[in-house]
Amino acid sequence: MSILVGSPGILTTFQDLGRRGYQHLGIGPSGVMDEVSHRVANLLVGNPAETATMEITLAGPVLHFETDLMIALCGGDLSPEIEGQPVPQWRPVMVRGGSRLAFGKPIKGSRCYLAVDGGFRIPSVMKSASTHLAAGFGGFHGRPLRSGDRLETGPSPRDQYPALQLRFNRERRPFLGADWLASWFREVDFARPSALRAIQGPQWSSLTTDSRARFLEDTFRVTSNSDRMGFRLQGPKLSLKQPMEMLSSGVATGTIQLPPDGSPILLMADRQTTGGYPRLGELASVDIPKAAQLRPGDTLRFMIISLEEAQDLYLSREARFRELEQILADRRNR
């Protein structure tokens, strides 16, 4: 089963849930920016959560489907279309061989995930299919997709959603989506400014009282100097009570660093493994997908919550994934 890449889009890479077990060697986790959209897309087509998806950024690629394939698209609305017709997201979609999937204007959010039934055939490097862009390994030859790339997928469609497949085989349309959708997780709030929950970091108390107030009350803007490694934020300049020389130490995805210029940096998937800047706070894991959908120019605000609350939110989200998994396991038979 093949997909041929026409134009590659601005930044299209293969990612999974990240490379684990190698951070002590300076090898960052990479992985999807928006874990929720990735996981739902995989669940919809019956793939295990760790199957690589195609992460599509802002201006998406043109993909030629050589054979019939079942797919799911989840994430921001980047205007996916086949033959001028919008392709529905957050549900399984049958696509006919010979079709051309293209993306138009990004309407909401910045990243969208394409999962295919049976998964993309991406070799594992250090137990992960994620692309490490800086070091050039993993994913599809360690790089973003280019024109002419040929992508192999597992056999599709597998024995699932029989009613959908039956209708698809009867009708002559280039694609057919299920008439329901996994709406639970489509709640990423695209209102701006985006409110991101964070917990206090190890150097939170080193901020001046005024800076702490600014951090909580003011609005920040994502500058164009932002990418998968992290977002440079523009807003009130924050300062420490006194200058700190910090030793390099571990950081996490979602860590909010404060460099000497006073403008915070929000670390994302392609972050380095260690850093020497003060850590003001860390995003609650459940709000990292929300941050992942921000575009340069978007505004955001921070809200401090407790660690307990953050972990409760995380555990509730995991429980909801388990529920969704069960619901879909049942739907796949219909």
Cβ-based neighbour number of residue 241 at 10 Å:
11
Identify the residue among 92, 254, 264, 289 touching another protein (CB under 8 A).
254
Which of 99, 131 has the CB closer to another protein?
131
Identify which of residues 45 and 283 has a Cβ nearer to another protein in the complex. Answer: 283
Nearest to 231 by CA among 254, 214, 248: 254
* Residues 315 to 334 in contact with another protein, rule: CB under 8 A: 315, 318
Separation in Å, CA 268 to CA 80, 145, 156, 239, 243: 25, 21, 33, 22, 25
- Going residue by residue from 135 to 164, which x/- string records binding to another protein, judged by CB under 8 A? x-xx--------------------------
Nearer to another protein, 76 or 230 (CB): 230
Which string of DSSP letters, residue by residue, matches 21-86? S-GGGT------S-HHHHHHHHHHTT--TTS-EEEEESS---EEESS-EEEEEEEEE--EEETTEE
Is residue 75 part of the contact set for another protein (CB under 8 A)? no
Can residue 250 be called a binding residue for another protein (CB under 8 A)?
yes
On the CB side of 123, how many CA atoms lie within 13 Å of its CA? 7
Would you say how long the chain is, in residues? 334
Taking the C-alpha atoms of residue 152 and residue 69, their distance in angstroms, rounded to an integer, is 12
User: Looking at residue 275, what DSSP letter applies?
Assistant: E
Site string for another protein, 188-217 (x = CB under 8 A): -----------x-xx---------------
Q: Which residue has the tokens 């040929």?
A: 150
Region near another protein per CB under 8 A, out of 50-58, 63-71, 128-136, 146-154: 128-136
Residues of this chain, 25-44, that bind another protein according to CB under 8 A: 25-27, 29
Q: Candidates 23-31, 81-89, 90-98, 173-181 — which segment interacts with another protein by CB under 8 A?
A: 23-31
Among 272, 299, 304, 331, binds another protein (CB under 8 A): 272
Provide, rounded to whole angstroms, the least separation between the CB of residue 204 and another protein.
Answer: 10
39: nearest Cα among 288, 255, 270 = 288
Sequence-separated (6 or more) residues with CB below 8 Å from residue 249:
274, 275, 276
Please give the residue ranges that form the binding site for another protein (CB under 8 A): 20-27, 29, 125-126, 132, 134-135, 137-138, 199, 201-202, 247-252, 254-255, 272-274, 279, 282-285, 307-308, 310-311, 314-315, 318
